[in-house]
Amino acid sequence: MTSNKANTPTQNVCNNYSNGSNNRQQSANLTPSGELILEGRSLTEIPREIALAHGPATKLLNVKENNLTAATNMNYFTNLTTLILDKNNLSGISFFPPMPTVKTLWFNNNRCDDLNCLCKDLVRCFPNLEYFSMLNNPCCPAFYDETVLGANKYRRYRLLLSYHLKKLRFLDATPISLSERNEANLKGQFLGKTAKPIRKNNRPLSPGLSKE
């Protein structure tokens, strides 16, 4: 039996809002310069329809203020040079595929707390980065901290990233200096390691020997 009951005005508003939200997630316009703006859409991944339609022609992809948890369709963006991932609650980028064309990555205001792990993933996913910013992440020391300890933490952070990303030119909007690059090449391999305490030898003394 078919029901002829009409939707209430409230139901119509809710349905229209839901349909509009879904349509907004599935549609996007590419600018003549190759910019694709998907900011603030509550996306967990790039919709396949958008990736198929615009991926190869996209130079800049802005997915700021979303909730990305997968990079399922990122492989369609074969000519991407700039990726904006600010404010996505990301703890890392391990789920991204290798994207060697990307030279600029914005990763500000996320939740990454493991710099060593991030460095390894950056090398794998974005090996040709020249511009990188990750301010306001737990593993990024405050660059404005002028105390001796704070300044040293930020210096070591810059050296570690410079060591792993050989083509990096700017970090957090500040150029990588020649002296930083040289120091990174010399010390970078040691900066991400934690010194292990030396265990004392507790073997029993040989007969006839005594502790002094």
Q: pTM of whole model > 0.95?
A: no
State the SS3 of the chain.
CCCCCCCCHHHHHHHHHHHHHHHHHHCCCECCCCEEECCCCCCCCCCHHHHHHHHHHCCEEECCCCCCCCCCCHHHCCCCCEEECCCCCCCCCCCCCCCCCCCEEECCCCCCCCHHHHHHHHHHHCCCCCEEECCCCCCCCCCCCCCHHHHHHHHHHHHHHHHHCCCCCEECCEECCHHHHHHHHHHHHHHCCCCCCCCCCCCCCCCCCCCC
Q: Has residue 197 got a pLDDT over 50?
A: no
- pLDDT digit string, tens, across residues 104-153: 999 999 999 999 999 999 999 999 999 999 999 999 998 777 787 878 99
